Amino acid sequence: MSSKWTAADVPDQSGRVAIVTGANSGLGFDTAAVLADKGAHVVLAVRNLDKGNQAADRIKAKSPNAVIAVQELDLTSLDSVRKAADELRANNPRIDLLINNAGVMYVPTRETTNDGFEMQFGTNHLGHFALTGQLLDNILPVEGSRVVTVSSFGHRILARIHFDDLQLQHKYNRVEAYGQSKLANLLFTYELQRRIKLKGASTIAAAASSEELKKRVSESPASSAPSMISFARPRTPQSTFTPVCAMSRPAARCNDASSGPSSSISPAITIKRFRLPRPSAIVRTMFSNERGFEL
């Protein structure tokens, strides 16, 4: 293995099923392309089926043997999430990898999802929260399965969970709203991993975070602690390796090939421990008792 972790270091993924949300462009597309090239059966979970099919064609053009499926998924609608989850469970009895990647960023004015949630919190966190919960029945029994939720450096910017105004109805700031949604991604991963460990399952919940905040905003509807993986100097296409590494490396440790992380590698992929106080009762109430969360 080279000192810089690249797509070439991704082990064979044959026989594994990977679901990637927001896989028609950006990080999601590149992640799906790498996993498909390595032999995984990849499901592109996308809001726009036409764009999803186009993305599938681009992957197959580069990797003719790729096995790709396209699943309609609108994270702004819990009805769509429920329908997609039902179909994904039926079509994929085993799910090895779930990458919660899709999201919206910096919605200029306060907008809501179909279910009345603030757009960024509803899409980035609640949509993936609901999807994960409804797919766990097919994930937990699979040895070595993983749930990777893509956060961002935005979790540090004006970010806190507004439990007194969760939907930011009284005061809306697009940066603060994005930060809340990304912090919620990390809290979700923290608690999910805690519950998985208590259950004794081998599934790993990991949070992948790139400091590159380049999201396809124009395509949005509005215009023990997990490892958090970040880039010292993020660049494309290296940013792709963050979720791919978290999904595929045996110990979910995506630093350099030596025994410890190194800040001298550019762009460096280093491990940071995301440390939080033990989740409070109020954080745990973010989990429902619906399918999959009776851990």
Of the candidates 31, 49, 96, 42, which has an alpha carbon nearest to the alpha carbon of residue 66? 42
* CATH code that applies to domain 14-284: 3.40.50.720
Per-residue pLDDT, 80:
97
At 139-172, the pLDDT tens digits run 999 999 999 998 876 666 777 787 888 888 899 8
Instruction: Give yes or no for residue 248 having a pLDDT over 70.
Output: no
227-231 and 269-273 beta bridge pairing: antiparallel
pTM of the model: 0.75
pLDDT digits (tens, 9 = 90+) for 20-77: 999 999 889 999 999 999 999 999 999 999 999 999 999 999 999 999 999 999 999 9
Distances (CA, A) of 73 to 61, 86, 96, 191, 283: 24, 11, 19, 24, 26
| pLDDT tens by residue, 72-110 | 999 999 999 999 999 999 999 999 999 999 987 778 899
Q: What's the rounded Cα separation, in Å, for the pair 291 and 25?
A: 30
Distance CA 50, CA 72 (A): 10
Find the mean pLDDT for residues 265-273: 28
Q: Which residue matches tokens 């991704």?
A: 10
- How much is the average pLDDT of 281-288? 32
Ranges of each domain in the chain: 14-284
Q: What pLDDT does residue 162 have?
A: 78
Preceding amide of 108 cis, omega within 30: no
Predicted confidence band of residue 266 (pLDDT cuts 50, 70, 90): very low
Task: Determine the average pLDDT of the residues in 164-193.
Answer: 88
pLDDT category of residue 289 using cuts at 50, 70 and 90:
very low
Mean pLDDT of the chain: 75
Is-contact 246 268, C-beta < 8 A?
Answer: no
* Cα 229 from Cα 247, distance rounded (Å): 12
Residues marked as catalytic: 178
